[in-house]
Structure 1
Amino acid sequence: MKYHKINGHDFYNMVVHASNKLLEESEYVNSLNVFPVPDGDTGTNMSATFKAAVKEIEGLNSKSIGETSKKLAKGALMGARGNSGVILSQILRGISKGLADKDEVDSVGFAIALKEGSNSAYKAVMRPTEGTILSVVRAAADGAIDSDEKDIVDLMKLVVDEAKKMLDKTPELLPALKKANVVDSGGMGLYIIFNAMYEALRDDIKAEIKDVKPASAKAAGASGTEDIDIKFGYCTEFIIMGNAEKANQFRDEITPLGDSQIVVGYEDVIKVHIHTNDPGLVLSKAVKLGELSKIKIDNMREEHREVLLTKEEYKKANVEQDDIFTEEIVLDVEKKKYAFVSVAMGDGISNIFKDLGVDHVIEGGQTMNPSTQDILDAVSKLNAEHIFVLPNNKNIIMSANQAAEISDKDIRVIPTTTIPQGITCLTMFNPEAEVEENVENLKEAIEMVKTGSITYAVRDTEVDGIKIEEGNILGLIEGKIKKVGTSYCDVAEEVLSEMIDEDSELITIFYGADVSEKEAEDFTKKIEDKYEDLDVQCYRGAQPLYYFLISVE
Structure 2
Amino acid sequence: MRVLDVAAVAAWSAACVRSLDVLRPAINGINVYPVADSDTGSNLLHTLTGARDALTAALRDPSAGGDAVGGSSPLTGDAGVDAVSPLAGDAAPIAVSPLTGDAAQSAGSPPAGDTAAGGVSPLAGEAALRDVSPPPGDAVPSSGSPPPGDVVGDGGSPLAGDVAGDGVSQVGAAAALPRDEQSPSSGDAPAPPFSASSPPSGNTPATEAALVDVAAALAILARGAVAAARGNSGVIISQVVRGIAEWAATGGELDGAGLAAALGHADKVATGAVSRPVAGTMLTVLHSVAGAVRGDTRPLADVAETVAATAAAALEETPKQLPALAKAGVVDAGGRGLVAVLDALAGVVTGKNTAPEHELEVAVSAPVAEPAPYAWEVMYLLDGVHEAQLPALRKELSGFGDSVTVAGDGSGSHAVHVHCADIGAAIEAGLDLGRPRRIRVEPLLTPTPIEPGGGLDRSVVAVVRGGGLAELLRAEGVAVLAVPDGETPGVEDMIGLFNEAAGRHVTVLPGSIDLTAAADTAAGHAMAGDRDVVVIPCASPVQVLAALAVHDGDRRANDDVVAMAEAAAATRRGELRIADEESLTWVGRAQSGDVIGLVDDEVVLIEPAPASETNLVAAAMGVLNRMLTLGGELVTVLGGADAPPGVAAELAEQLRLEHPEVELTSYASGQADAVLLMGVE
More strand by share: 1
TM score, norm. by length of structure 1: 0.44
TM score, norm. by length of structure 2: 0.36
More helix by share: 1
Higher radius of gyration, 1 or 2: 2
